């Protein structure tokens, strides 16, 4: 048995004993006794004062010099912990590393840190401090390298972003140095070292990246709509989905330092990212947390509680599915898979989320014996108010292959004939609407009405036999649910709705509050719409990258090619009586994201104008189905 396993067992045994004393009834405490960790019903209880908590900050020395000033970058770390941790109570850590504390702000309410006269944070964004510090946790808020009060330059998912967070975990476990404002060394003597990272989007990606270094002491991560591949943040199979220079823009966007400080770093990012071709290269390999040079899924030792919205157009579903599949088998894990967009579940299913997260952190960081690991591993949202559970993701499925027919239907056997369309940039709504109507920019094929409900779970694969009249085209495909229904409206963005949710009015106050930090947040619920069709999932590929993402190979006009690639993953139920549609098209304008992350950034991919001819005999889509058959 390794020493780390011995220490883990000793720790869990000690916590179990302490828990047993609290729950089973230790001798009555005196009126002056200090609170200890209290567990009831399998979860820690809020017995510590948030008002009296210790607030402090340090700067942790990292292993990188991202701005090349000759000094290792110092990472700003803001801390809040129970005051009892100064007098013998050892507490675990919940850590959020974020690039957003300056710009644009953290969370859906766009919160910022507020400081007192001594430079300590009096208002932490989000609810983690309000909720968990009273339960006996420290909350550690980390300014990502190059942002807010940390040194260096942000590198858009690069090594410095990840290694800055790793240095903080190392410091919490006695392996790195930190300093106060006077330059005196500071040790984290108040913590057990057991750390859990949590965050949304970029923040969640940082947790994934740090976990992939295999750093000891990071016991769990909770990535919410998290990046696992910087390449897929702005590309889809060779197609540029974010405007040229997106990595530079992102670095500038989160950094309020004078532009000249990091200009050399950003010029290198511009040159090395190779937006002109959209190819994968060493620059993107550094930012690949699945199999890359800095972080690898196979090296993850922390447990994982992941949340992914399958209609997320910012962080697409493959960011979750491809990484999840590469995690070591012995990594304990849990997931929520939803029909929302780019969402933090705190806004979608708040009461269930807080209860589940509380149990998860208590089990993984406190060693509390509860039922979290006996619960079914994956929660899946199939529609408004409709959740099911399953043993893993994707579920066990059987592959059904559908083939377009000359008469516009989808069948099981190959068909003769051809079809053609032009590669022009169109929105998904325009491509999927009125499938029976002839449209020069797409081909549409439909099944007969489904006799029974049919559920897809996993990643469909499309295979096209094509000829082009130009050296390349953007090949697009949509899987569409045709049938009148009320669904999660993930497309609508207004002042009161976004990502499939809408504000309901009123607030929930989460945990304890102070005059500076009330921990209160708007209530939200499902935003739904009734429509005649819904784009379930999609895929796109630059034809000249059909052999390799790292090398462009232009096609010979009029020559036939068999091109196969993965669509984006999904978990979706097609209802009885609906029809499943396959739409073949060119450039998907909804993939063209502008600076705000919204679609129709038409400066990205306007379409090649190529004529795409499809040989129906060699064209198919393979669907991983749990239940039902198309007809």
Q: In whole angstroms, what is the distance from residue 583 CA to residue 593 CA?
A: 21
CA atoms within 13 A on the CB side of 517: 26
Q: Catalytic pick from 312, 517, 526, 542? A: 312
**Known catalytic membership, residue 200:** no
Catalytic residue among 66, 156, 201, 273: 201
Buried b (16+ CB within 10 A) or exposed e, 32-43: eeebbbbbeebb
CA gap 606, 423 in Å, rounded:
9
Distance from C-alpha of 74 to C-alpha of 67, rounded to nearest angstrom:
11
d(CA 350, CA 335): 16
Strands (E), 454-527: 454-458, 461-468, 474-488, 497-498, 501-509, 520-526
Could you tell me whether strands 333-338 and 303-309 are parallel, antiparallel, or unpaired per DSSP bridges? parallel
Query: Does residue 342 have an active-site annotation?
Result: yes
Residue 557 neighbours by CB distance under 10 Å = 13
Q: Contact at 8 Å (CB) between 80 and 124?
A: yes
Residue 498 annotated to the active site:
no
CB 273 within 8 A of CB 462: no
Of these residues, 200, 235, 253, 342, which one is catalytic? 342
Give the N- to C-terminal CA distance of the chain in Å, as an integer. Answer: 55
Question: In this structure, what are the phi and psi dihedrals at residue 479, rounded to the nearest 5 degrees?
Answer: -105, 120
Half-sphere exposure of 463 (CA within 13 A, CB side): 11
For helices 159-172 and 202-211, the axis angle rounded to 10 degrees is: 70
Nearest of 211, 178, 180 to residue 62 by alpha carbon: 178
Q: CA 38 to CA 498: how far, in whole Å?
A: 38
Cα distance between residue 198 and residue 303, in whole Å: 12
Q: Is 572 helix (H, G, I), strand (E, B) or coil?
A: strand
* Active site amino acids: 201, 312, 342
């Amino acid at each position: 048995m390794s020493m780390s396993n011995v220490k883990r067992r000793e720790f869990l045994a000690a916590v179990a004993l302490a828990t047993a004393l609290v729950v089973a009834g230790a001798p009555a405490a005196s009126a002056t006794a200090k609170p200890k960790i209290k567990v009831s019903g399998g979860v820690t209880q809020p017995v510590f004062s948030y008002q009296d908590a210790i607030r402090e900050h340090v700067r942790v020395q990292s292993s990188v010099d991202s701005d090349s000033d000759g000094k290792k970058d110092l990472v700003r770390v803001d801390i809040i912990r129970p005051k009892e941790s100064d007098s013998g109570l050892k507490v675990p850590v919940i850590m959020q590393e974020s690039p957003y504390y300056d710009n644009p702000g953290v969370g859906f309410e766009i919160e910022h840190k507020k400081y007192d006269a001594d430079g300590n944070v009096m208002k932490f964004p989000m609810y983690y401090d309000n909720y968990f510090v009273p339960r006996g946790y420290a909350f550690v808020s980390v300014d990502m390298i190059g942002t807010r009060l940390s040194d260096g330059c942000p590198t858009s998912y690069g090594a410095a972003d990840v290694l800055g967070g790793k240095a903080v975990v190392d410091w919490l476990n006695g392996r790195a140095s930190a300093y106060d404002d006077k330059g005196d060394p500071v040790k984290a003597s108040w913590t057990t070292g057991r750390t859990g990272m949590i965050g949304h989007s970029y923040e969640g990606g940082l947790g994934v990246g740090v976990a992939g270094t295999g750093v000891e002491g990071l016991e769990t991560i909770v990535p919410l709509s998290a990046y696992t591949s910087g390449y897929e943040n702005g590309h889809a199979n060779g197609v540029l989905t974010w405007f040229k220079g997106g990595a530079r823009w992102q670095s500038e966007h989160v950094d309020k330092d004078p532009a000249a400080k990091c200009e050399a770093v950003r010029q290198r990012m511009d040159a090395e990212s190779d937006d002109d071709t959209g190819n994968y290269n060493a620059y993107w390999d550094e930012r690949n947390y699945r199999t890359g040079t800095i972080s690898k899924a196979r090296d993850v030792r922390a447990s994982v509680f992941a949340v992914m919205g399958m209609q997320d157009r910012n962080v697409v579903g493959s960011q979750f599915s491809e990484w999840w599949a590469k995690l070591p088998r012995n990594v304990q894990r849990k997931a929520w898979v939803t029909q929302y967009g780019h969402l933090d579940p705190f806004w979608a299913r708040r009461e269930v989320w807080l209860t589940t997260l509380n149990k998860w952190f208590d089990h993984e960081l406190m060693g509390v014996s509860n039922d979290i690991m006996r619960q079914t591993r994956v929660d899946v949202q199939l529609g408004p108010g409709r959740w099911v559970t399953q043993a893993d993701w994707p579920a066990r499925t059987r592959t059904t292959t559908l083939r377009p027919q000359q008469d516009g239907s989808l069948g099981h056997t190959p068909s003769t004939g051809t079809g053609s369309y032009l590669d022009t940039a169109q929105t998904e709504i325009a491509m999927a609407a009125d499938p029976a109507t002839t449209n020069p920019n797409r081909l549409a094929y439909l099944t007969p009405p489904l006799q029974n409900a049919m559920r897809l779970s996993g990643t469909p694969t499309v295979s096209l036999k094509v000829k082009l009249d130009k050296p390349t085209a953007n090949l697009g495909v949509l899987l569409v649910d045709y049938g009148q229904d009320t669904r999660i409206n993930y497309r609508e963005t207004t002042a009161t709705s976004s990502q499939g949710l809408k504000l309901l009015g009123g607030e929930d106050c989460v945990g304890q509050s102070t005059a500076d930090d009330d921990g209160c947040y708007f209530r939200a619920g499902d935003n739904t719409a009734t429509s005649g069709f819904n784009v379930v999932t999609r895929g796109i590929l630059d034809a000249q990258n059909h052999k390799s993402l790292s090398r462009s190979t232009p096609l010979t006009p009029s020559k036939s090619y068999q091109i196969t690639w993965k669509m984006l993953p999904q978990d979706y139920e097609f209802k009885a009586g609906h029809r499943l549609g396959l739409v073949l098209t060119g450039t998907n304008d909804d993939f063209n994201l502008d600076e705000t992350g919204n679609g129709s950034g038409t400066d990205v991919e306007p379409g090649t104008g190529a004529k795409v001819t499809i040989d129906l005999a060699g064209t198919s889509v393979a669907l991983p189905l749990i239940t039902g058959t198309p007809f």
